[in-house]
Amino acid sequence: MLTFDVRIYETEFRADRRKSFRVRWSVGGKKHSKSYTLKAQADGRRSELMAAVRQGEQFDTEEGLPSSELRAQTHTATWYEHAQDYAQMKWPRAAAKHRASIADALATVTSALVQSDVRGYYKPRALRTALYAWAFRMVRQDDGSLIPRTETEAPPTEVAHALAWVTKHSLPITEAAKPEHLRKALTSISVKLDGKAAAENTTRRKR
């Protein structure tokens, strides 16, 4: 349960403990504490909690954490989310040809960076098209902001199914960074959908 009922106490020093400095606070009447070896560490943590209170954040009564910290702990971005953010960041300053190249490379790699315990999408060409033409294509809003095409219009059924699949099965970004998954991603850019080797300049561009 979330509440604004938070009290944060002064840092406590306990000479008989290895971690001598303890931060104490209560959320909804429930006590919480964390001990540190150095006073600077304890003071830093207390300052973080105080800042959350000043910013009007609610705290979770069970975990004793500000809501923002709780969200950060329970959600790890996926490669697919990361790739969309990257495309959105690069879009404004990229020429039309470069935009197409970015979307093409991200569509190829994203198709490969999925959970290893599931088979690839049963229509790989449909998935690639959905990613290239919808997920990684940005549309400018009236206020000048850029958002994915999927957020401005309803995609065809096949596209919606493909994107729902990749959303569900995309690797967490921490997993995608592991060597075995990076090798899989690099392999994907060197072959075409039919399994034949891609042209050297295509592989170089996507890399």
pLDDT digits (tens, 9 = 90+) for 86-144: 999 999 889 999 999 999 999 999 999 999 777 778 899 999 999 999 999 998 888 77
- Return the pLDDT at 74: 66
Contact of 136 with 79, CB cutoff 8 Å: no
Which pLDDT score is estimated for 174? 86
Which of 66, 86, 165 has its CA nearest to residue 120?
Answer: 165
List of residues 6+ apart from 13 with CB closer than 8 A: 20, 21, 22, 39
Alpha-carbon distances, residue 88 vs 122, 127, 140, 149 (angstroms)? 28, 20, 10, 11
166 or 17, which is more confident = 166
pLDDT, tens only, 49-88: 999 999 888 899 988 999 888 877 766 789 999 999 899 9
Find, among 81, 83, 88, the residue nearest to 147 by Cα.
Answer: 88
Give the global pTM. Answer: 0.63
pLDDT reading at 205 higher than 70:
yes
> What is the SS3 assignment for 190?
coil
Q: Is the pLDDT of residue 20 over 70?
A: yes
